[in-house]
Structure 1
Amino acid sequence: MNIDLKEQAHGEIERIFRILLPQNGLAVREEQIALCHAMLDTLLHNKIALCDAGVGIGKTYAYLTACILLKKFYPSGPAGSQPVVVSTSSVALQDAIIGEYIPFLSRIFLENHIIPKPIRAMVRKGKERFVCDARLAQRLEAVKGKNKNEEQRKALFSLNSNYDLDAVTGLSGFDRRQVCVPKVCEKTCRLRNSCRYHQYLKEARSAEIFVQICNHNYLLADAAHRLQELRPLLNDYRALVIDEAHKLPDAARQMYGQSLSAEDFHELCSLLTKEKYILAAQNLREKFRALMGALCRGELLEEAQRTAFVLTAEREAALRDCLSLLRLLQKQLAPHLPRWILHRLGTTEQALNLFFTGDRRYILYIQYDRTGSPSLCAASRQMPEQLNRALWRNNIPAILTSGTLMAGGSFHRTRQRMGLSSSQRLEDFIAESPFNYQENCILYIPGDLPKTPMGSEMEAKCLAEQICRLVDATHGHTLVLFTSYSLMGAVYNQVKGRMAFPLMEVWRHSQNVIHRFKQAQNAVLFAAGSCWEGVDFPGDMVSSLIIVRLPFPVPDPLSEAEREQYPTLQDYIKTVVIPDMQVKLRQGFGRAIRTETDTCVVSILDHRAAPGERYHKAVLETLPPIRITAKIEDVEDFIRAKKGPDYFMP
């Protein structure tokens, strides 16, 4: 490696973060500068780095700058013209990277002659997220002159000018399925070479695109194509950045597992009907209906649930009937069906056979949604090794970054889940949050928390009392995080009508409730599920964060299978259960302080977190250095000292 070029590249980091970015409104953050240096070294030395970046670091600017400097100072060689891949788990971050971060950096770097031309980036995603122009024309013709919801009609016609389905709101699920690019594009299609989707693919393959942005599932699908020596989904790349890296194992579980729901069965029957095999579709639908009946709970559930799959006599008979018919249809219809539908019949048969034979390579379970509707799920037992084979053995430098890669001061759990435990190229880097938690935050763990039975009415009443006291002490401005929707509902019923502030309850994907909470300024929001991470409440709107219970993972067939790998229950709790709780706790705690000027009370209402209790040390290991109190009076004093007069206005 050219030492002079390396020194120049690192010198450029200093100029960018100490002079150029501050001139354009960003603060100098020593942790961010150190992180960018570490990321650049990772790329230059062909390493894999786990970068735990605390809230407020600005890790996106750090890794994008490192990638751009790699391109500037090392443009030659076989990989010189190749792009980098940035993989994320959220559409919001993808939009921010392509719409804000890259244009901002590109403008500054152009103005200061760091790069000769703008950095170009593109979002890469599955074909089902784009419009097929031929199918759109057919759908528009079909709805002409017919009664249709006006919002849905407007959304459908807007696809004439927007081929990205994710960018259109109000489109019905049925219309989306009718107009999206099919799994296989017919070679005889008259629009094949001119449609917008194929123009998008042509542009994506251009050497001008330096940053390819995708989600974790698309990254893993590309890796699977490469392992099978199929055409890759992404252009060959020289470096990989995985942001929101703590979500990668979840994506891998989907990619390396299999699942079949009632919707999957319905779609398969619909495909056969569309091909005019109506009797075959009817017969298959009857067999699938019998299978779903053998799996169904037939009741509404308070929570989505996973239960281990047990092969009862009824289920065995239903599976045998489905498998027999699927095999017969493949044999009879092989000369007549399109290859991709035939493939779909085959993969459905293979998935069902896992449950019929009890395949030990998979953890077999049933996923029930809140309506009690079942899905058959098979999770691979070799997921870490599959991740290792797919991503880490390809000799490409990789940066994995997130605010929650570390648990209890260690990366051990992350290395284990990512398939990186034995990697010789691995390095760790910790970038502490620049926020002053000692000054701007206080941790309240009440000293009088009773040890009530979990899930009991007494627990809901005790929690309601504590929450009402805290809401009064902080004048609303409160986010209450629950570990289960059932507990949230029970406590909500106890507190409604008792508060002087607007009380709201957010269930799954209720963005309108979150919007109303932000508009109200001094409201109280009860939340669970996805609100533990990825939701931003800057300023005074969340000045009190209440964590009702320590977020221990719920036992299910997946955790039970992992438990079998440890000699004792204590080993399993120490190695898996506590680190997973700590990661989730860090995610929840991250809702408290979002900017340098935010101030917040964080309360934990779980008696197990109190001083002298079992998990007090694990809690302190998880959180930054912070003042702790057991007195509600300290909470009131903190709020009075930190908040201005406007905060207390109705």
Structure 2
Amino acid sequence: MPYNIRSKRAHEEIEYIFCTLLPQNGLFVREEQIRLSHQMLDTLLYKQIALCDAGVGIGKTYAYLVACILMRKYASMMGESIVSGSHTVVVSTSSIALQKAVLREYIPFLSKILQNHKVIASPLRAVVRKGKEHFVCDYRLEQRIAAVREKHKNPAQRKALLSLKRHSDIDEVQGISGFDRKLVCVPKFCPRECPGRKECRYQKYLEQAKKPEVFIQICNHNYLLADALHRSKEYRPLLSDYKALIVDEAHKLQEAAMQMYGKSFSQESVLELSSFLIKEHQSREAGRIREVSENLLLSLKELYPQMESGRIRFVATRESSLLFAPVITKYRQVREQLKGSVSKWVLNRLEETEGILRVFQKSDKNHILYLQRGRGEFPVLCTASRDIPHILHATLWQGNTPAILTSGTLKAGQGFSRTRQITGLEGKERVREYVAESPFQYRENCLLYLPKNLKKVKRGSREEVLMLTEQIHSLIRATNGHTLVLFTSYSLMSGVYQMLRDCLPFDLVEVWRHSQEEIVRFKSLENGVLFAAGSCWEGVDFPGDMVSSLIIVKLPFAVPDPISEAEQEKYDTLEAYIKSIIVPDMQKKLRQGFGRAIRTEQDTCVVSILDHRAVVGGRYHKAVISALPKCLMTDDIREVEAFIRRKKNTDYYGK
């Protein structure tokens, strides 16, 4: 990269910040973190897009924040004048926890240090941007408080409701009921003639968020994509204009895009639309819409009984098309009849719903269509776009805005080809790739155990449960508890847990659907065992001796569904599909799970994979090894126990 005098100074300041200022203020800095920040700064200065795979412990958040700060400071080197508010940066994340950490920890820490040492002239200002449903509508809050004033209500929920007078952000209040939240949040359609608009805390929040001195806008991936969609349709943007984009936890971007650009039709959405019509004094039309819609859903339930087992692919037939026709007609008639009588927003909702129904009637080839079981007796009709990569390219990457996509699991196997494919960056010239390996000493502190005595048994059988129970029992004993067991199936987890819960002298905790209470309980135990699945494969942190044994029960291959079936159609053979899609996705998920093992420089851990396909000679052994850091390996349970005894002190066993 050719440097001019300004870019050279910017890079010199990275060295000064990381090598002098941050260590002086108690932050441990690694060489790989400094190199990563240099790479990120070049990406921003030269308006490129970087895929940065940053291993556990790198400190990527400080790396990209420092790069963003120096980009703004040295913006004139890019031929741009430094105008107040013209160099806003968006940091998009997947988790609320990271958003809070960036806002309340990382940015204040950097702001204070850099100001004190004259690196920046004014404090760094940041704001979290999120949707209306996260904020209190003061007018609706007063109505709700009045409605429950004389009624019997759960004391904790009443206290939470009243506390919203002091907290405009509903996410900051613990114990608020889902029903109350729905009734008091800012509505999707916020009328300009609202009597409380002048004093509205949400409107004041928007005014503060859009002030020119705000440098960093923090949001989640869905909000970023919603803003991109608004811009592509020339609607009013949700975010202030920005000059650089950071996508942290970027491995979650495609999932967010599937949600954003997918559509659904359900009883819940029908009831919501009906309520909007009733509020605009159109009760008769609301009843007509609800009646025809629920009749359609019941008819589809009878037509597709196999939906009860989960998601099923939807293919239009003559019979199904006849079911949709009168419902579409009714929606069109109601929409035409209500023009000029209801808000434009409600008319748009009617038109959008009519459009979803037409997609199903004609089995639109641009969408993947499927049915899934809803909460009640009615099914849910879902659409997913077939062209998410193209949409992401058109809405996020087509301009000249520099962007950094970073995560600990962007690379699969030996490269970024799968990430490029799903994010719309395949074949794009201005994309650069960078791998920042974890600084942790896996060769010394981690032992990978692939047992040689695994049997190939029928999935879901009692024999499988018995075999895994025996293996897990031996490992828990060998490491004296301190174990996290990751499953890919809740039913298998339940079967093994039931067989082990009375056979071990350790506290066993079972987590269903990421129950935070159970995770907190496990963390309070001295040498417990946690059985987990689902979202516990990532985003949970168990440092120190808390988890000294990580057991991955099965390789985390994705469960086939209508979306994966549609993707498979692009490939000539099943083998090509498995190699290009299935294996890279498994490798990413495996790396996420593996990342639960070692969280600090001092951690030591045994990682066991109890899948016969992963062992030496197994079908996916090479794919597993290429996905994980280099570490010691064994197939002997005795070496597992010896490793733990060698690495742990006497207190470990006394706990």
Give the TM-score normalised by the residue count of structure 2.
Answer: 0.96
Counterpart among 272, 294, 297 of residue 267 in structure 1: 272
Establish whether residue 61 from structure 1 lines up as the match of residue 62 from structure 2: yes
For 2:594 and 2:342, the matched residues in 1 are separated by: 53
256-265 vs 495-504, greater mean Cα deviation: 256-265
Query: Which letter maps to 1:223?
Result: A
Establish whether residue 421 from structure 1 lines up as the match of residue 426 from structure 2: yes
Superposed CA RMSD in Å reads 2.1
CA contact (8 A) 1:87 1:214 kept: yes
- Map of 1:110 onto structure 2: 115
Query: Which letter maps to 2:73?
Result: K
Specify the SS of the correspondent of 1:281. Answer: helix
Query: How far does residue 300 in structure 1 lie from its aligned partner after superposition?
Result: 13
Specify the SS of the correspondent of 2:311. Answer: strand
Q: Deviations over 1:364-421 (max 9, x none)?
A: 0123368886321111111101100001111000000000000011000000001101
Query: How far does residue 495 in structure 1 lie from its aligned partner after superposition?
Result: 1.8
Query: How far does residue 185 in structure 1 lie from its aligned partner after superposition?
Result: 2.0
Counterpart among 572, 580, 586 of residue 581 in structure 1: 586
- Map of 2:137 onto structure 1: 132
335-344 vs 347-356, greater mean Cα deviation: 335-344
Counterpart among 306, 312, 315 of residue 311 in structure 2: 306
Q: Deviations over 1:508-562 (max 9, x none)?
A: 1311011101111311111111000111111111111000000111111111111
For 1:303 and 1:157, the matched residues in 2 are separated by: 41
The alpha-carbon distance between structure 1 residues 527 and 36, as it changes in their structure 2 partners (threshold 3 A), is: same
Query: How far does residue 317 in structure 1 lie from its aligned partner after superposition?
Result: 4.5
Query: How far does residue 481 in structure 1 lie from its aligned partner after superposition?
Result: 0.6
The alpha-carbon distance between structure 1 residues 521 and 302, as it changes in their structure 2 partners (threshold 3 A), is: farther
Q: Deviations over 1:138-196 (max 9, x none)?
A: 22222222221111111111111111111112112221121111222212123223311
Establish whether residue 4 from structure 1 lines up as the match of residue 18 from structure 2: no
- Map of 2:472 onto structure 1: 467
For 1:435 and 1:323, the matched residues in 2 are separated by: 59
Counterpart among 436, 440, 449 of residue 454 in structure 2: 449
For 1:518 and 1:294, the matched residues in 2 are separated by: 49
Establish whether residue 605 from structure 1 lines up as the match of residue 623 from structure 2: no
For 1:265 and 1:498, the matched residues in 2 are separated by: 50
For 1:171 and 1:301, the matched residues in 2 are separated by: 37
The alpha-carbon distance between structure 1 residues 325 and 372, as it changes in their structure 2 partners (threshold 3 A), is: closer
Counterpart among 175, 194, 203 of residue 180 in structure 2: 175
Counterpart among 624, 627, 651 of residue 646 in structure 1: 651
85-94 vs 192-201, greater mean Cα deviation: 192-201
For 2:425 and 2:623, the matched residues in 1 are separated by: 24
413-422 vs 333-342, greater mean Cα deviation: 333-342
CA contact (8 A) 2:75 2:81 kept: no
Counterpart among 77, 81, 99 of residue 80 in structure 2: 77
Query: How far does residue 312 in structure 1 lie from its aligned partner after superposition?
Result: 5.7
- Map of 1:374 onto structure 2: 379
- Map of 2:340 onto structure 1: 335
CA contact (8 A) 1:304 1:370 kept: no
For 2:308 and 2:508, the matched residues in 1 are separated by: 22
- Map of 1:90 onto structure 2: 95
Q: Deviations over 1:12-66 (max 9, x none)?
A: 1111111211122222311101000000000111100000000000000000000
CA contact (8 A) 1:297 1:373 kept: no
- Map of 1:20 onto structure 2: 21
Q: Deviations over 1:318-339 (max 9, x none)?
A: 4334322212211222232222
Give the TM-score normalised by the residue count of structure 1.
Answer: 0.96
Establish whether residue 550 from structure 1 lines up as the match of residue 551 from structure 2: no
For 2:562 and 2:113, the matched residues in 1 are separated by: 51
Structure 1 unaligned spans of 5+: none
CA contact (8 A) 1:51 1:430 kept: yes
Specify the SS of the correspondent of 2:383. Answer: strand
CA contact (8 A) 2:307 2:372 kept: no
- Map of 2:396 onto structure 1: 391
For 1:83 and 1:623, the matched residues in 2 are separated by: 37
Query: Which letter maps to 1:387?
Result: L
Percent same amino acid at aligned positions? Answer: 57
Counterpart among 464, 485, 492 of residue 480 in structure 1: 485
The alpha-carbon distance between structure 1 residues 502 and 294, as it changes in their structure 2 partners (threshold 3 A), is: farther
CA contact (8 A) 1:404 1:583 kept: yes
For 1:548 and 1:606, the matched residues in 2 are separated by: 6
Specify the SS of the correspondent of 1:607. Answer: coil
The alpha-carbon distance between structure 1 residues 277 and 213, as it changes in their structure 2 partners (threshold 3 A), is: same
- Map of 1:51 onto structure 2: 52
- Map of 1:218 onto structure 2: 223
- Map of 1:292 onto structure 2: 297
CA contact (8 A) 2:54 2:60 kept: yes
For 2:82 and 2:273, the matched residues in 1 are separated by: 43
CA contact (8 A) 1:50 1:400 kept: yes
Q: For this pair of structures, how many residues does the alignment match?
A: 650
- Map of 2:331 onto structure 1: 326
The alpha-carbon distance between structure 1 residues 485 and 595, as it changes in their structure 2 partners (threshold 3 A), is: same
